[in-house]
Amino acid sequence: MDKILITGVTGFVGSHLADHYLAHGYEVFGLRRYHLSPMHNVAHIVDRINWIDCDMTDQKAVAKAIGLVLPDRIFHMAAQSFVSPSWDHPHLYMDANYKMTVNLFEACLTNDINPRILIPGSGEEFGEIQEEELPITEETILRPVNPYAVTKIAQDLIGYVYHRSYGMDIIRTRAFNHEGPRRSKVFGIPSYAYQVSRIERGLQEPVVKVGHIDDRRNFTHVLDMVEAYSLAIDRCEPGELYLIGSSRDEDIRSFRDAVEQLIARSSVDGIMYETDSRYVRPTQVPFLLCDAAKFVALTGWQPSLGFERILDDTLAYWRNHVG
C-alpha cells in the first residue's frame, strides 16, 4: 500500500488527513520540527504516525527526510496560513509558503522520485472580486490584497513550473473556506466558538469580539475537504487547477451568520457581539464564492456536512478545550 507523507500533519487539515488515511490502513509519515511542533491535534494518533524530524525551511533537511521516506503521495499542508500577521511578517510568509514548497520539489528531484503531490492553494488568492464577477472559476483574474495571498499564488505557480519543467505529478487546488474541529482560535468561526465557550464558563464578559463580519464565503466542513483532497490526489490531472468548495446555497453564508448562530446555541442568554479594531484587516475580501464544477465533474465529490454541522462541531470542540 502507498506510503503517505503529510507535511504540516500537526495542524488543522493535516491532522484530519492523518486520521483519514490511518483509518483506511495506510502507512502515514509526518514531518515535525523537533520539539517545536504543537502536538495536541495528533495526541490521539501520535504513536501511529511515522515521525521524521525536519524543518522544511532547511533544504538539506527536506532532502534527507524525503530520502528516508520515499513517499508515493505527499500532502503539502505545511504553511503559514493565518492572513492577519502576513502584513507584519511578509518575508516569513514567503519563506514558509514558497521556499518550503521549492525545497520539497527539489528534494523529490534529488532523490529521483516522482510522487503525487497535492498543493492546497487558497481562495484568498483571488482577492478583490466584485459581486458581478461571481462565481469564481479557474479563469477568474487574481487580485490579491494581502501578503499571504501573494505567497500562496507563488506556491501554486511554482508547482505549475515544476510540473511543466520536470514532469512532476503536482496537483494544484484552491480550497475555499473550510472549518471545523481543531482549527486555531485566531480564525473567525473558531474564535467566536472559543469566546462563547469562555462566556459559558464565566471566564469572559458576555460580549464576543469580532472583526469585519459581512464577507460572504463558501463554507465547507473540514471532513468534506479531506475527502475532496483524497479524491484530488488520486484523480486530478497534474498541472491543472481545481477549485474546491461547497456550492450549496445553505453553505454560502457570512461571518455575521456564524457569530449570531453560535450565540443562539449558547446556554447563556443575552450574549452580544461587537467589533474590535484589533481584528479588522487593512483590506477586506468581500466575496469568496467558487464554482467547483470542474472538480465535481471529474471526481463526483459532494459535501455531506453543511454549515450547521460546522457550527455544532466547532462549538463542541471548544467547549471541551477551553481551559
DSSP string of 1-60, one letter each residue: --EEEEETTTSHHHHHHHHHHHHTT-EEEEEE-TT-S--GGGTTTTTTSEEEE--TT-HH
Domain annotation for the chain: domains and CATH numbers: 3-178+222-244 (3.40.50.720), 180-217+249-287+305-321 (3.90.25.10)
CB-facing half-sphere around the CA of 218: CA atoms within 13 A = 25
Half-sphere exposure of 9 (CA within 13 A, CB side): 29
- This prediction's pTM: 0.96
pLDDT category at 169 given cuts 50, 70, 90 is: very high
Give yes or no for a contact between 288 and 149, defined as CB atoms under 8 angstroms apart: no
What is the C-alpha to C-alpha distance for residues 217 and 161, in angstroms, rounded to an integer? 30
> What's the rounded Cα separation, in Å, for the pair 141 and 131?
14
Residue 167: what are its φ and ψ, rounded to 5°? 70, 25
DSSP state of 141: P
> Among 35-39, 96-100, 132-136, 167-171, which stretch is predicted with the lowest mean pLDDT?
35-39
pLDDT for position 35: 81
The residues near 23 (Cβ < 8 Å, ≥ 6 apart) are none
pLDDT digits (tens, 9 = 90+) for 118-158: 999 999 999 999 999 999 999 999 999 999 999 999 999 99
Average pLDDT, the chain: 96
Residues 6+ apart with CB under 8 A from 226: 13, 16, 17, 19, 20
Q: How far apart are CA 230 and CA 139, in angstroms?
A: 24
What is the per-residue pLDDT across 285-322, written as a single tens digit (0 to 9) for each?
Answer: 999 999 999 999 999 999 999 999 999 999 999 999 99
pLDDT score recorded for residue 192: 98
282 burial type by CB count under 10 A (0-12 exposed, 13-18 middle, 19+ buried): exposed
Residue of 258, 259, 232 whose CA lies nearest to 243 = 232
| pLDDT exceeds 80 at position 161 | yes
Q: Is residue 36 very low, low, confident or very high in pLDDT (cuts 50, 70, 90)?
A: confident
pLDDT score of 207 more than 90: yes
pLDDT score at 168: 98
Best CA proximity match to 314, nearest among 269, 259, 254, 271: 259
Residue 266: which pLDDT band, with cuts at 50, 70 and 90? very high
Q: What is the DSSP string of 256-303?
A: HHHHHHHHHT-SSTT-EEEE-GGG--SS---EE-B--HHHHHHH----
pLDDT at 323 over 80: no
Q: Which pLDDT does position 238 carry in this prediction?
A: 98
Tell me the per-residue pLDDT of 56-113, one tens digit each, with 9 for 90 and over.
999 999 999 999 999 999 999 999 999 999 999 999 999 999 999 999 999 999 999 9
User: Which range (5-9, 233-237, 275-279) has the least confidence?
Assistant: 275-279
* DSSP assignment string, 143-193: B--SHHHHHHHHHHHHHHHHHHHH---EEEEEE--EE-TT--TTSHHHHHH
The partner residues of 35 in beta bridges, in order of sequence, read: none
Question: Mind giving me the DSSP string for 202-259?
Answer: TSS-SEEEES----EEE-EEHHHHHHHHHHHHHHSPTT-EEEE----GGGEEEHHHHH
Looking at the chain, the whole-number percentage of residues with pLDDT higher than 70 is 100
pLDDT computed for residue 1 by the predictor: 80
Q: Which residues of 154-181 are buried (b: 16+ CB within 10 A; e: fewer)?
A: bbbebbbebbeeeebbbbbbbbbbbbbb
Residue from 206, 215, 212, 318 nearest 263 by CA: 206
* pLDDT tens-digit series, residues 229-250: 999 999 999 999 999 999 999 9
